[in-house]
Structure 1
């Protein structure tokens, strides 16, 4: 055999001749300081995986290329999958997802049976998980407590199969596609989510019947987050199902962020949430009418938040904080309906960075857009009343008052400085501005 042939032929490492205990002790010491990416030879791969166990416990995969490599590794080296407790599959502009062929994701699931947390935005992988659940008699992930499925494409998802994940405590679904409706079945055979306490849903379109049944089977839910909320019968049924549980203490409703999305008021179903102590009303909500605040007074609220892109009446909020009709249980109010910002104009050397000052005047700040229903004076009344009543008042609307004052002060300073510079330049150089 030539020397070149010997170089190209896989050679067994001389380390294999050492006693097993000594070999493991040597490798453990080496891996503690500098862990190699690959072992010296294939025969040492099991020991390599064993010593790098901590590396495989929490895995983050970015892009389809990495996903394909990890899937193959799990299928050929089961130890890599068995130690995995947290798996996050995501993507970005540099490492995107694309259609993968020749990858049998289902074969990856057996080694991943010890998962505690799974986050996936890859559509192929999501569908593979759903199909695997549908074919399994029992949960293939018996220890899974946290699940987030956020596929980027519109393929239908049979979410009723998720009921087999009986160990879930947290579930996040962001799906823009129609759902495959759950087939009729004997309700006594339906497994309940007895441990599920947190549900977050971002549903853009499609049949919500499977979602309603899923929520209805979660007997211990305490937190419900609904994004892309719309005031229609489907979401009304969803809220009714959650209210009937009698366990929900926190609700967040956020409408679709779009100029064409219709506005909505606090839904009447909220009055049935007898344990509700924390409520957030988000984009698209227009809580500025008397009936809305009459509804809020019927709830045992301790924390109330109005999010960005809401239209709020400061007078009605004031009536919850103080006065004869105040909500006695209320402890904190967060107002994020008004926004303002001001860049730090003092980070520059004004005499050297004249251009930066002109740029700041054009784009360095955003003044609050006060409204007739929520004026600066109305916001100040809220601040004073909250302080008097011992209620915590916070949020971007509260901060907007100080920010507006800073904007006006800095704007005057910058304009005066620039005017002074223009006069100085005219005297010194004869410039005409």
Structure 2
């Protein structure tokens, strides 16, 4: 077997318990006790000192002196105007597709008559204000700005605020500012990390409190979002990027390797796994990964990711792969098989599924219109990717006629008495027929 940059090789069913545990338990650092404590300190500092704390932390963490926390709209518009024409057109195309896909997801109000004279209704109401976090520093993703802002605008959110770390000049990356302008963000603040999350969750003199915070970030951002859930709603907890490829003998090993490297280059903590049908296909994929990794432009990041959480594992049949897919619950699942559409119904736990080897994850990251803000670390077992639904809350109502109240009174009184809630029983029986 040739030398490989991968941490794990071999047959899936022979994977030792510790290796399997390491592949399945991918916390990403947000729950690390040191990260959690430092994050808690930052949240408390912002809650206590407001804008002053944010300015001090911009100097400490970003090396930036902020004349103003808020970036003027004119600066964002200038950043958009300065984009290379081909980049602006690509971003515009992505925004159009995101808007089109998310508009189709908009929920509708419903009302149902459960008994004559009893109507129960539910209505989606757009949130009043949301915060979209856009990473900075090592990872600057204007596309993530679109993924947060565009669905919020489609939903009809009253005010959309973007926060992104400042560079040495005191402003977020030009690409982030341009994307915010293109997507229609209402306000932009030069704030990063856990401090930005605190400002959005609790509010400061300059930053208004929001109803929900969405968007990816580093371990401190993820930890901060988890720690402010008593004050504000968040999207799914997220950590380092990950991919699971299921490949049978029809898959091009080089195509599979490209997909693994595309995720590995995100982060040294990224997790990249292929489950291949047959040992020959697994060997071909592993060889292709080694070759691609040797010439990767972000080689240091790629090598660390593959050597820590990279795996190519073989199975005897596709049937053997699906239980592992369900347990792994990947952020990105690529089905590179001869009949991928037939396999799709087998999938329940995945942030998003790419059906067929031509459906590169890169297309979903940028251009298909699907959202790329997705649950990681196995949380796709319970969480979904960001969608227009994240930007609504629901108002529920009940209508009860006088005649229906009379019919309800006795049974409701019986249930209330059985629970020892006697005032409830009295309220119900007040409408008994006279």
TM-score category by the smaller chain? under 0.3
TM-score normalised by structure 1 residue count: 0.22
Higher RCO, 1 or 2 (CA under 8 Å, sep at least 6)? 2
TM-score normalised by structure 2 residue count: 0.22
Hey, which of these two has a bigger chunk of helix by percent?
2
> Whose Rg is larger?
1
